[in-house]
Amino acid sequence: MSAQHMLIEYAFNNNGEISKCELITLDSIAIWKEYSESTIASLPPPFCVKNYNENVVYLNEGLFNQLFYIKDSLHSMKWELTNQKNVILNEQCFSAKTNFRGRSYTAFYAPSIASSDGPWKFGGLPGLILAVQSDDNIFQYSAVKIISNFMGKLEKPDINKHKYINWMEYIKTFTATIDNYVKLVRSNGTLEDGSKAKLKITAPEIIYPKAQTGDGIEF
């Protein structure tokens, strides 16, 4: 099956919330789109564009009411191939495991589909990834449909109109944004005297463990 000009529909289970996603693979790029009701209406729609020639991914991430534009390495996860097999959408798939930025994942890829891509940032395996699940069962991507010769209308995000920060800069910005939010809530009188609050951010990548693991930040 040709890997060019394909559209793959995925169901994305984000901690119990299901949303529809699409991966469109072209000659030199892949476009990942997520259609989620939880997207903040005041922010531009999220995008994730993988550039094969540059070996990078361009994306935006929302945190509170802010949007950050990030330039990250393409398919930077390291995989260990395993012996488990599964059939997904009539394709024979093989499993692989990785620990990617704080979470362990198991993926199933189809060698018969000559693409090293997959949902969201995932990729780098000898076949298209049709399913990925975190070992803690919080995140799961499952392919539900493959259109091998996609001829529909394609809307490419205009990635050139934004200024991007690299991954290390985003870690610092992400951490500082959460810390500043906690300080603001503590200082603006939102909390009653003697009361405490908790904040936990759930995301596939654990960037700030204090705010993303256990019960999160108590303040």
User: CATH code for 6-161?
Assistant: 2.50.20
- In three-state secondary structure terms, 103 is strand
Tens of pLDDT, residue by residue, the chain (219 residues): 444 589 999 999 998 889 899 999 988 899 999 886 655 555 677 789 999 999 999 999 989 889 999 999 999 999 999 989 999 999 999 999 999 999 999 999 999 998 999 999 999 999 999 999 999 999 999 999 999 888 777 778 888 989 999 999 999 999 999 999 998 888 876 666 667 888 999 999 999 999 999 999 988
Q: Among 46, 59, 55, 40, which residue's Cα sits nearest to residue 167?
A: 59
* Cβ atoms of residues 26 and 7 within 8 Å: no
| Cα pseudo-dihedral 170, 27, 139, 38, rounded to 10 | 70
Domains of the chain by residue range: 6-161, 166-218
CA–centroid distance for 82 within its chain: 23
The residue assigned the tokens 């534009």 is 69
The residue assigned the tokens 């930025």 is 101
Token pair listed for 57: 């991914």
Maximum CA extent, the chain: 63
Q: Among 39, 36, 28, 46, which residue's Cα sits nearest to residue 10?
A: 36
| Helix (H) and strand (E) counts in the chain | 2, 14
Strand (E) or helix (H) holding 144:
strand 139-147
